[in-house]
Structure 1
Amino acid sequence: MNIVIVGAGEVGTHIASQLVAEQKDVVIIEKDPECAAKASNMLDCLVITGEGSNVDILKQAGAENADIFIAATSVDEVNMISCFVAGSAFNTPVKIARVRNVDYMRGGLLKNSSIGIDYLVNPEIEAAFDIVQTVLHGASSGIFAFQGTNAQLRDFLVKDDSIFNGVLVKDIRSIIDQNFIIAGVLRNEMLHIPKGDFQILTGDHIYIVALGKSFNKILTRAGMTVDKLKRIVLVGGGLIGKHIAGMLIEDGKDVRIIEKDYERCKELSALYPEATVINGNISDQDVFEEENIAYTDAIITTTQSEELNILAGVYAKSKGVKRAVALIDKLNYTTLATNLGIDSCISAKLSSVDAILKFIRKGNIKNVYTIFEGQAEAIEFIVGSSNKNIIGKKIMDLKFPSGCLIIAVQRHRKTIIPTGSLVIEEGDSIITFAAHDEISRLEELFNK
């Protein structure tokens, strides 16, 4: 598969690094020489310095042979024009544009074939959706709620007094007495797909897959509180905050928005009369006291300062707020924030990467979820009539790559946490958990 990516920022390079590791042919176009040089040193792929909308540059990048064209710069118009040129000059089959302005998405561009964009990805909407899903499921840890199913994947930090500490993976289910799967263990920044003799240790992050109703029992058994989050404080009324507020209000949550810009406060008040909008700066300690933030269930911090998002969340929890969710794009901040007590970290850039990867992956793929900075992915496949190699077979009999697991199956309206004896049927929606270097082999299995 040949892929051209315009933009060597964090989104572009993150996508490129994953695709290069899967031995896809990737070319990056970046107009900034310094940024291009950095990407060239970091990635094992061709990086061309130039404009992504320049026909000669696109020709140099091999756009005429590209299967997929991704425009992922920080400028909407550059991304859309680049896709238009790739489509009109080179007839590239699939064009994907990262677009932040929702007005472009409302304008029917997807229906206008002359524009040449097949898929639009909005970072703010993707991140807002991920944050809301996290809050709706309790925000007790990192949560991936698989759309259209009752299955969830959550990550737990193993502490000294945890019942998981020192236990072998094969023995954990008997201790918890619930049906679940340990999909992965993160130890010292490295992700492991554990076998039964893998021992859980203090400091590990374990990724557990179970049905939503089972998680309440798992959390309780593990000594963690299970809270329903009703009263939400949202810090930051920008694009992401605005989307989050709307979704939470629609779900019946009691939402208070803290925004330091007065004009934006007026806009938010008019847009969401059900919410309480407060004109204030979260870095001012008096705001916490005057607004009784300590008595709320959760705080969501979405300001443009990642440091402030972390600090505000940590401070809120020290004052009694049950859960803290922070918007963080610097990936190296995620571990720090978690260790400081932030319950869930969401990255708009990683949310965009997930959305783009969904369009790139081959086969009957419904959804893609990036796990811990791309070290693994949860990929949802639809079993079609062409998948003769897996239909009618037990999971234990499938020739699965060693770093891959089937963690959930959606059959009709029922979600199943499978055992090895489950027989795959046509129409099943299968959620897999795969180490990054095994994804190509997994795709081959589902595309025979």
Structure 2
Amino acid sequence: MNIIIVGCGKVGRSVTEQLSKEEHDITVVDIRSDRVEMTVNTVDVMGIVGNGASYEVLTEAGVKKAHLLIAVTGSDELNLLCCLVARKAGGCHTIARVRNPEYSRQVALIKEDLGLSMTINPEYAAAMEISRILRFPSAMKIETFAKGRVEILQFRIQKNSLLANYAISEISTKLGLDILVCAVERGGEVFIPNGNFVLEVQDLVHFIAPPKKAGEFFQKIGVDTHQVKDAMIVGGGKIAYYLAKQLLNMRIKVTIVEMSKERCEQLSDMLPQAMIIQGDATDETTLMEEGLPYTESFVALTNLDEENILLSLFAASKSRAKLVTKINRVNFNEIIDNMDLGSVIYPKKITTDYILQYVRAMQNSIGSNVETLYQLADGNVEALEFYIREDSPVVNIPLETLKLRENLLIGCINRKGKVITPRGQDMIQVGDTVIVVTTNQGLRDIKDILQS
């Protein structure tokens, strides 16, 4: 597809890199020549220096032949204007990043009036992911599918875990649980396991199950399943606001530590039920006085990755809190994975996943659209949810007879609200949503799960 991406900041470059890997024809636009030059030199794309809301600039970028324009500059207003001009000039699909809480309350109206195909708010999406983790602190990460009926949860096997040295086929028989292990990370490698795969201490395990069954699973292996009672959030930015609002709705006590007096006053007005503390969180005395040793969760959301890492390491040394650490840069994944940072959240990865999901749905040829897409295991594994709208080569055939690609697992079938953990005799039907987990990149249609 022909895609124009306006904005070459962190999110813009991340989206550009991923879509370029999937062989789309991409043109990037930014008012800063250094950003355009950096993007063009690192990714095989065209670049134009100019204002993405200018008709002349968009025309030069090929808007009249473009299938999609993605506006991810640092300004909500500019993003919306870019999309409006693109719709009028070329009639293409448009996606806008909209971050301001004031606009977020009017998303439906904005989308309808401006003809937007999609809006994405990285901070809100990150806050929702963190709230899911704090609801279920035993998991390091939780991704939702089938409108919340199914989740993929990630956890690490500890030294005394019941699962250590278990073959995957034994989990259902010995524990009496209907869950499916869909990916395992071990020593820098990623496996899509079969039933004979034996779990080991320190394995990072991804499993798929409905929320209730996931809770039963953790209980049976002796892991606490209760949501946290309180949360200490460091940093009072947009993610902190969205997260605090969600946690308060979940009846979780919230304390926010923020340096800026002006921002503290704003948060006090917007979040009257939360405790807002003006102070320097890098001063350990501040955190200790505000109850760090006793808090059940600690969320580091400052604008500096280094500061968030240090704060989480300090919290780990002084408390037993569930840790959540926000990281903006993804260059040092291997080092970060070896630190005791709890659940690590990458807002720009979340944004990229949502946009990829939409792009693949646009490309679909026979209507079995990608409804949901998440990248797991540092982008080495994709979990995709397909909606089966029409007959295809996978429909009404027992799964055991399908010639599936290697390193691919059908993790779940959702049929009219009923969640099915698939076995060999089960069949995919029109109207189902099907969750597929694979190390194969770029699946766009349900038929792509078959060997070519």
1:339-388 CA distance string (max 9 Å, x none): 3222211122122222222322224333222223433322222222x234
Cα distance between partner residues in 2 of 1:47 and 1:205:
40
In structure 2, distance between residues paired with 1:379 and 1:186: 18
CA contact (8 A) 2:408 2:449 kept: no
Separation (CA, whole Å) in 1 of partners of 2:372 and 2:445? 18
Q: Is the 8 A contact 1:22 1:439 kept in 2?
A: no
TM-score for the superposition, normalised by structure 2: 0.87
* Partner deviation per Cα, 1:373-424 (whole Å, 9 max, x = no partner): 433322222222x234333232333443334322122223332222232222
Could you tell me how far 1:323 is from its partner in structure 2?
0.5
Shift of 1:283: 1.1
What is aligned with 2:374?
Answer: 369
- Aligned match of 1:28: 28
Q: SS state of the match for residue 109, structure 1?
A: helix
Shift of 1:297: 1.0
Q: Are 2:262 and 1:257 equivalent residues in the alignment?
A: no
The count of corresponding residues between Structure 1 and Structure 2 is 442
1:312 Cα shift? Answer: 1.8
- Is the aligned partner of 1:311 residue 2:310? yes
CA distance in 2, matches of 1:6, 1:403: 35
Which structure 2 residues correspond to residues 8-19 of structure 1 after superposition, within 5 A?
A: 8-19=8-19
The answer to which of 296-305 and 366-375 deviates more is 366-375
- Post-superposition Cα deviations, 1:228-277, rounded to whole Å, max 9, x if no partner, equal 31122122222110111111111111222222222322332233232222
> Equivalent residue for 2:112?
111
**Residues 149 and 415 of structure 1 are in contact (CA less than 8 Å); yes or no, is this contact kept in structure 2?**
no
Matches of 2:335 and 2:3, distance apart in 1: 34
* Cα distance change of structure 1 residues 426 and 147 upon mapping to structure 2, 3 Å threshold: closer
The amino acid that maps onto 1:262 is K
- Within 5 A, what are the aligned runs for 1:413-428? 413-428=417-432
**Cα distance in structure 2, aligned partners of 1:137 and 1:359:** 28
Q: Could you say which residue in structure 2 is the equivalent of 1:347?
A: 346
The 8 Å contact of residues 394 and 446 in structure 2, kept in 1 or not, is answered as no
Corresponding residue number in structure 2 for 1:146: 145
Q: Deviations over 1:56-79 (max 9, x none)?
A: 443443322221111122232332
State the distance in 2 between where 1:139 and 1:31 align: 45
The residue that corresponds to 1:400 in the other structure is 404
The alpha-carbon distance between structure 1 residues 50 and 191, as it changes in their structure 2 partners (threshold 3 A), is: farther
Asked if 1:91 corresponds to 2:91, the answer is yes
The verdict on how the C-alpha distance between 1:334 and 1:253 changes in structure 2, with shifts beyond 3 A counting, is farther
TM-score (norm 1): 0.87
Which letter does structure 2 place at the counterpart of 1:374?
G
Unaligned runs of 5+ in 1: none
Indicate the residue corresponding to 1:74 in structure 2: 74
- Moved runs in structure 1, 4+ residues, more than 6 A? none
Q: Distance in 2 between matches of 1:4 and 1:52?
A: 10
Using a 3 Å threshold, how does the CA distance of structure 1 residues 139 and 282 change in structure 2: closer, same or farther?
farther
- Secondary structure in 2 aligned to 1:263? helix
Q: 1:411 — aligned with what? A: 415
Please state how far the C-alpha of 1:278 moved relative to its aligned partner: 1.9
Work out whether residues 138 and 223 of structure 2, in 8 Å CA contact, stay in contact via their aligned partners in 1.
no
Q: Structure 2 CA distance, aligned partners of 1:358 and 1:205? A: 25
The change in CA–CA distance for 1:68 and 1:397 in structure 2 (over 3 A counts) is: farther
What is the SS of the residue equivalent to 1:393? coil
Q: Choose 298-307 or 313-322, whichever is displaced more.
A: 313-322
Equivalent residues of 1:7, 1:72 under 8 A apart: yes
- Cα displacement string for residues 138-182 of structure 1 (whole angstroms, at most 9, x for unaligned residues): 253122233624422122335566565566555565565532222
Which aligned pairs between 1:189-338 and structure 2 lie closer than 5 A? 189-196=188-195, 198=197, 200=199, 204-219=203-218, 224-338=223-337
Q: In structure 2, how many angstroms separate the alpha carbons of the residues matched to 1:129 and 1:361?
A: 23
8 Å CA contact 2:235–2:302 kept in 1: the answer is: yes
The 3-state SS of whatever aligns with 2:428 is coil
User: 1:136, CA displacement in angstroms?
Assistant: 1.2
The share of aligned pairs that are identical, in percent, is 29
Q: Given the alignment of the two structures, is residue 380 of structure 1 paired with residue 385 of structure 2, yes or no?
A: yes
1:169-196 deviation per Cα after TM superposition (whole angstroms, max 9, x unaligned): 5556556553222222334545333345
CA displacement at 1:221 relative to structure 2: 5.6
CA contact (8 A) 1:110 1:118 kept: yes
Mean alpha-carbon deviation: is it higher for 176-185 or for 253-262?
Answer: 176-185
Where in structure 2 are there 5+ consecutive unaligned residues?
A: 362-366
For 1:133 and 1:96, the matched residues in 2 are separated by 25
Check whether the contact 2:151–2:208 (CA below 8 A) recurs between aligned residues: yes
